[in-house]
Amino acid sequence: MVNSLQIFGKNNESLAAIYLKRQGYHILEQNYRTRMGEIDIIARDNETLAFVEVKSRSSAAFGNPKYAVTLQKQRKISQVALYYLKSTHQSYTRARFDVVAIFSESGRNTIELIKNAFEFSSR
């Protein structure tokens, strides 16, 4: 059963994909899942592969969503990204980690794209 938080998250992931397309990104995968974890969006931005984490908030009670990508989450995304690069034979492709932060309040969305939000994390 899907709850309202999951619906909120999925809607904002779709909103982020639309936003990225308008910024010139080519979406390759959405909700890419492995046994290690998930990456919300994998996209190509010119010659660079972007692994994108989408974070959203509906109130300021928990702070700005762009600060919600913890070191633990960065490690998990890094592992899944490495798996993706190896399994698609793109190990030598230029890649980076972006975050799309969406703040939704009173029916209005504020979207912020943070390119190179964090470096590859293995520990």
Cβ atoms 52, 102 nearer than 8 A: no
Cβ atoms 54, 41 nearer than 8 A: yes
Going from the C-alpha of 42 to that of each of 1, 51, 104, 112, the distances in angstroms are 26, 5, 23, 17
Between residues 70 and 44, the one the model is more confident about: 44
Band (58; pLDDT cuts 50, 70, 90): confident
- 3-state DSSP assignment of residue 56: strand
- Judge: domain 4-118, CATH 3.40.1020.10: no
Query: What is the model's pTM?
Result: 0.89
Express each pLDDT in 102-119 by its tens digit: 887 777 888 999 999 999
Express each pLDDT in 8-45 by its tens digit: 567 789 899 999 999 999 999 999 999 999 999 999 99
Delimit the domains of the chain by residue range. 4-118
